[in-house]
């Protein structure tokens, strides 16, 4: 990686100068850095912005009023170019209430074009001969001050997005995929604000949870709730309080005394002293408490059948087009189609995620898939 310079925006005067520069641009490149690896309550810690000839790093932790930047993000006359924008947009909406219009996502564009690699490091290396520094992929962006090397790394995340967008636009035009990309980018603007990364709803993401019996799962649930509350109060990621593997081990052993807990081994003495009583209380609650039931969306047997039929159709279309299946339509759109079961193009157009291009291109085929499934069901009755 060669030398990069940037302007750190940490004062109101710096922010005003940045906003003035951005309003003169038809497109800007944007990225963010958060601190999710180091805290329970994640927040956006940096906002990187590049325009031709200049890179900026905005410090949201400097107490700035970022509402003028939000006006730029909501301006349909200025295109905002991200790479893998989902988490960036969700985080910016959560922390600052920003709205977005006129987006371009270089990762989505690469996937729509069927490029074999869509990661930013791969694209920078292949198209610009730039090699990024992987040392900062797990950096704590919430700490202050940030090192010059870390800021240099952050600036590179946006420096090449505008020229990459230009190359991708030419390919999208050449392959006739501009409208598909535009509809995909438009969906990005509707992404909801980021919700809690942790909390009770994340329980079912614990590995091995499905390998436990009912009582062990009930104990694990109580241990999980205890750890989550402690992590929230300390503003630490739950796994930095206690790993999932340790929780599962405790749920299987279900110790009843401090001696039994200590006998499990591999736990330092201070760990048993600090957490032991609370762990035993959680185990006792689990021994006598309800068994958690996995949340299951209301989805009829017919809807599941329609969903599988649509997945098979999508697989074939994607193979012919040379892209991954979800590039054709995301799973969420297929689920909506399966649940709504449209029978006309007008009904199809009312399904979330089915824009004009998707309806024109895939509408008749989708309706035929759904009709064929209905006929198949009737024959089996």
- Here the CATH number for the domain that contains residue 342 is 1.10.150.80
The tens digit of pLDDT for each residue in 256-285 reads 999 999 998 777 888 899 999 999 999 999
Residues 277 and 342 in one domain: no
Residue 294 lies in a domain: no
User: For residue 1, what pLDDT is reported?
Assistant: 43
Mean pLDDT to the nearest integer, 8-31: 97
CA 96 to each of CA 33, 68, 70, 79, 100: distance values in angstroms, whole numbers, following the listed order: 14, 11, 8, 19, 12
The tens digit of pLDDT for each residue in 199-234 reads 998 999 999 999 999 999 999 999 999 999 999 999
Residues 159 and 277 in one domain: no
Residue 207 lies in a domain: yes
Residues 346 and 240 in one domain: no
Sheet holding 54-58, edge to edge: 7-9, 54-58, 44-51, 27-34, 79-82, 103-105
- Going by pLDDT thresholds of 50, 70 and 90, the confidence category of residue 301 is confident
Residues 369 and 229 in one domain: no
CA proximity to 86, closest of 164, 180, 187, 160: 187
Identify the CATH number of the domain in which residue 74 sits: 3.30.420.10
CA 262 to each of CA 60, 266, 281, 373: distance values in angstroms, whole numbers, following the listed order: 45, 9, 15, 58
Residues 238 and 270 in one domain: yes
Number of domains in the chain: 3
The residue segments making up the domain with residue 315 are: 301-380
Residues 272 and 340 in one domain: no
Residues 36 and 176 in one domain: yes
User: For residue 296, what pLDDT is reported?
Assistant: 66
Residues 231 and 90 in one domain: no
Residues 86 and 212 in one domain: no
User: For residue 181, what pLDDT is reported?
Assistant: 97
Residue 77 lies in a domain: yes
Residues 62 and 128 in one domain: yes
């Amino acid at each position: 990686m060669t030398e990069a310079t940037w302007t750190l925006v940490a004062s109101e005067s710096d922010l005003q100068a940045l906003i003035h520069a951005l309003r003169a641009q038809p497109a800007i490149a944007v990225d963010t850095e958060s601190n999710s690896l180091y805290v329970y309550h994640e927040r956006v810690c940096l906002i990187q912005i590049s325009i031709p000839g200049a890179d900026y790093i905005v410090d949201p932790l400097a107490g700035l009023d970022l509402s003028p930047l939000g006006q730029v993000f909501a301006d349909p006359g200025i295109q905002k170019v991200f790479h893998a924008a989902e988490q960036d947009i969700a985080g910016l909406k959560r922390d600052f209430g920003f709205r977005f219009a006129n987006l371009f996502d270089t990762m989505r564009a690469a996937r729509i074009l069927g490029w074999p690699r869509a990661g930013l490091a791969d694209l920078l290396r292949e198209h610009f001969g730039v090699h990024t520094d992987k040392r900062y992929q797990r950096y704590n962006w919430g700490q202050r001050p940030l090192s010059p090397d870390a800021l240099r790394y952050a600036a590179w995340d946006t420096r090449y997005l505008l020229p990459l967008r230009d190359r991708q636009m030419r390919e999208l035009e050449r392959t006739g995929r501009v409208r598909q990309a535009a509809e995909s980018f438009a969906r990005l603007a509707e992404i909801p604000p980021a919700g809690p990364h942790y909390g009770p709803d994340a329980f079912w993401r614990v590995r091995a949870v499905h390998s436990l019996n009912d009582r062990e799962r009930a104990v694990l649930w109580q241990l999980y709730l205890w750890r989550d509350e402690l992590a929230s109060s300390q503003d630490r990621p739950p796994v930095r309080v206690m790993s999932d593997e340790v929780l599962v081990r405790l749920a299987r052993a279900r110790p009843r005394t401090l001696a039994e807990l200590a006998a499990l081994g591999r736990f330092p003495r201070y760990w048993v002293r600090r957490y032991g009583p609370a762990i035993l209380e959680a185990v006792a609650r689990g021994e006598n408490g309800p068994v958690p039931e996995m949340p299951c969306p209301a989805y009829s047997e017919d809807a599941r059948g329609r969903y599988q039929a649509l997945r098979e159709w999508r697989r074939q279309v994607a193979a012919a087009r040379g892209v991954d299946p979800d590039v054709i339509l995301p799973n969420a759109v297929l689920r909506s189609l399966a649940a709504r079961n449209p029978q006309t193009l007008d009904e199809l157009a009312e399904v979330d995620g089915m824009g004009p291009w998707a309806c024109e291109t895939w509408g008749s085929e989708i309706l035929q898939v759904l009709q064929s499934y209905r006929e198949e069901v009737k024959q089996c009755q």
